[in-house]
Homo-oligomer: A and B are copies of this chain.
């Protein structure tokens, strides 16, 4: 008789469902028999990594037989200088995904609760479940914005961690620093609060720098090199917060969690502020152009503060299929219970042209279908 391995795994394995990533370009090419496609599904930086990061990667390629610095000491020092904080207030992970997972695992287990928004980044729910904790999804205010009052009201004696993203992915909404501080002030002491700022660089000129502006003993701010910094493929994210909290999280870290090339490229990219500012400016100009067109066509799903726009259409599945037919990969938001939305990453000027041309013809057809 075969062994029922599923019954032998820990209980929470039954409640875990794998994350569905953006469709890879290669997969679309095969599916549709195309020779070229563009991916606007994963909020990558379409302008590529900083040239200085590329140069460092080429230099360091010959030393990858050595283990990385497990403590990522040089990268921590570079971040400490940038943020004017101490290295003991920094934790580095294999993408901010790992930072989120380890934070939640360290503070929430069986019988504990982790609070997040119903339309917050799906990894909060996955990480809570993987840790054996109960995830508590709080509905959004007016469809898209975190309902900070409702999140505070959801706290119970079993709540250990609360996660918010600002700007939020996938909805693109933004709260200013005073709204976040009011939220923090309303929370009981002793909660770990994860403020996920993966898209911070796109609003750095709009809101106060949370690392210095916000006050809460359990506040942990997460940032990433995967978006504005253009290093998604290397996997490096970080957290800033209380040294005792991060020291506890560090106990759960694998000895060499962040790879050698990622550490070196992140330091180079961090130093290249002019390059980051330039690509962020290009992204914002592209976002403005896309949002203006979507609004004209009556399909703008909401104002976005990230490097992506939201398209809303009652035939979103049809629009998705037609875009893919033309070699353009957006991200369907059905996993976020937003079946009439597509999230579309702002591309290069050429990619945005191609997207708008495609959408223009598809939306006429979609109107006929509807």
Tell me if B68 and A190 are in contact (CB < 8 A).
Answer: no
Task: Give the residues in chain B near A89, CB-CB below 8 Å.
Answer: none
Q: A62-B49, A233-B65, A261-B234 are in contact. Are A97 and B256 (CB under 8 A)?
A: yes
Docked-complex contact A6 and B232, CB < 8 angstroms: no
- Which residues from chain B contact A58 at a C-beta distance below 8 Å? 57-58, 61
Contacting residues of chain A (208-222) with chain B, CB-CB under 8 angstroms:
217-218
When A17-B251, A101-B254, A109-B132 are in contact, do A160 and B8 touch as well, CB less than 8 Å?
yes
Q: Could you tell me the distance in whole angstroms from the C-beta of A6 to the nearest C-beta in chain B? A: 6
Q: Are A67 and B255 in contact (CB under 8 A)?
A: no
Contact A16 B252 (CB under 8 A): yes
On whether A231 and B8 interact (CB within 8 A), knowing A18-B250, A95-B254, A252-B130, the answer reads: no
How many of A's residues come within 8 Å of B, CB to CB? 82
For this chain, the copies found in one complex come to: 2
Provide the bound-state CA to CA distance between A68 and B95, in Å.
12
CA distance A24 to B44 in the complex (A): 34
**B66 adjacent to A44 (CB under 8 Å):** yes
Decide if B248 touches A233 in the complex (CB within 8 Å).
no
* Complex interface residues of chain A between 141 and 174 (CB less than 8 A to chain B): 160
Could you tell me the distance in whole angstroms from the C-beta of A220 to the nearest C-beta in chain B?
11
B259 touches A5 (CB 8 A): no
Quick one: which of B19, B46, B233 contacts A260, CB cutoff 8 A? B233
A178 within 8 A of B: no
Take A64-B233, A68-B233, A250-B18 as given contacts and tell me if A9 and B106 are in contact as well, using a CB distance cutoff of 8 Å. yes
Rounded to whole angstroms, the CA-CA distance of A42 and B19 in the bound complex is: 34
Task: Check if A94 is an interface residue, CB within 8 A of chain B.
Answer: yes
Who on chain B is nearest to A106 by CB?
B9
| Contact of B94 with A67 in the complex, beta carbons under 8 Å | no
Selected contact of A189 from candidates B3, B64, B255, CB within 8 Å: B3
Task: Give the chain B neighbours of A244 by CB distance below 8 A.
Answer: 5-6
Q: Which residue of B lies closest to A48 (CB)?
A: B65
Question: Given the complex of chains A and B, what is the CA–CA distance between A11 and B108 in angstroms?
Answer: 10
> Is B256 in contact with A10, judged by CB distance below 8 angstroms?
no
Q: Are A255 and B13 in contact (CB under 8 A)?
A: no
B232 pairs with A65, CB closer than 8 A:
yes
CA distance A183 to B106 in the complex (A): 36
Shortest C-beta distance, A361 to chain B (Å), equals 28
The verdict on A301 contacting chain B, using a C-beta distance below 8 Å, is no
In the docked arrangement, what's the CA distance between A93 and B47, Å?
A: 29
Tell me which residues across on chain B come within 8 A of A97, comparing CB atoms. 254-256
Residues from chain B with a CB closer than 8 A to the CB of A42 are 66-67
Asked if B232 and A16 sit within 8 Å, CB to CB, the answer is: no
Confirm or deny: A63 has a beta carbon within 8 angstroms of a beta carbon on chain B: yes
Residue among A22, A95, A97, A110 with the most chain B CB within 10 A?
A: A95
User: Is A271 an interface residue, CB under 8 A from the partner?
Assistant: no
**A79: interface (CB < 8 Å):** no
**Interfacial residues, chain A to chain B (CB-CB below 8 A):** 2-3, 5-6, 8-11, 13, 16-19, 21-22, 24, 39, 42, 44-49, 53-54, 57-58, 61-70, 94-95, 97-98, 101, 105-110, 123, 130, 132, 160, 189-190, 192, 217-218, 226, 230-235, 242, 244-245, 248, 250-257, 259-262, 265
Could you list 8 further interchain pairs (A-B, Cβ under 8 angstroms) beyond the known A94-B94, A232-B256?
A5-B248, A9-B248, A10-B105, A10-B107, A109-B132, A234-B261, A235-B257, A235-B259
